[in-house]
Amino acid sequence: MKYLVITHEHADHYGGANYIESVYHSKILMSEVAWNGIHDPNTTVLVDPFGNKSSDLALPKSYQKVDDKEVISLGETKLEILLTPGHTEGTISLIFNTTDNNTDRVVSIWGGTGLPNTLEGNKKYLQSLNYFERYTVENNVNALVSNHPFVNDLLNDMKKLRSRKPTEKNPLILTKEEFKINIDTTLRKSVIEKINNLQKPNN
């Protein structure tokens, strides 16, 4: 395993990084803000399902900083990074090429789904989402995958993929129009609602 990409500074995403770094000598890819975030004792900790706090976790010892629109080449696969702060300050999103039944496809991963608590944070989230949508649509991205399999029906789609017949459609592949609708209904709607709620006078 050459690289481990960490989308953001929450313990459910970097909790195993130290282990993977020490066992597989993988390079840890993350944004500078996320790297600083996991080393900041005042950063919000996220309790993991096993009861550890992120401050209890062993941190990776080194990392390779990734920047906006940086491309990591892995043979024929290109992994492109977008800086998309919002879910956390250091969140990155990913775009990479692959094939599906010999057809070239481009897949995107939105780096952090849950909404932050502050108005400022949610405005930043929306700004990043607009940037991500514009960039992925311009670059003919065919799929939007969550970094949590329980989000956006991904577990179900994975099940469908396992039993898919060669003639059947890949449930993750979307037309340009479907891709935009997917972003609007799964992500944009909720952040706009939250911004409106936080802007109400009684807040």
Interface residues toward Zn ion, by CB under 5 A: 10, 112
CB 91, min distance to Zn ion, A: 8
Spacing of C-alpha 98 from chain mean position? 17
Which residue has the closest beta carbon to Zn ion?
10
Nearer to Zn ion, 60 or 112 (CB): 112
Nearer to Zn ion, 126 or 142 (CB): 126
Nearer to Zn ion, 44 or 98 (CB): 44
CB 14, min distance to Zn ion, A: 10
CB 163, min distance to Zn ion, A: 31
| Distances from the Cα of 96 to the Cα of 105, 124, 144, 187, angstroms | 9, 24, 11, 20
Q: Which two tokens stand for residue 127?
A: 């700004």
Cα distance between residue 79 and residue 107, in whole Å: 10
Q: Which is it for strands 103-110 and 143-146: parallel, antiparallel or unpaired?
A: parallel
CB 100, min distance to Zn ion, A: 28
Q: Exposed e or buried b for every residue in 173-192, given b needs 16+ CB within 10 A? A: ebeeeebbebbeebbbeebe
Nearer to Zn ion, 142 or 147 (CB): 147
CB 8, min distance to Zn ion, A: 5
CB 192, min distance to Zn ion, A: 20
Q: Exposed e or buried b for every residue in 66-87, given b needs 16+ CB within 10 A? A: beeebebeeeeeebbbbbbbbb
Cα distance between residue 29 and residue 72, in whole Å: 10
Nearer to Zn ion, 7 or 136 (CB): 7
Nearer to Zn ion, 10 or 124 (CB): 10
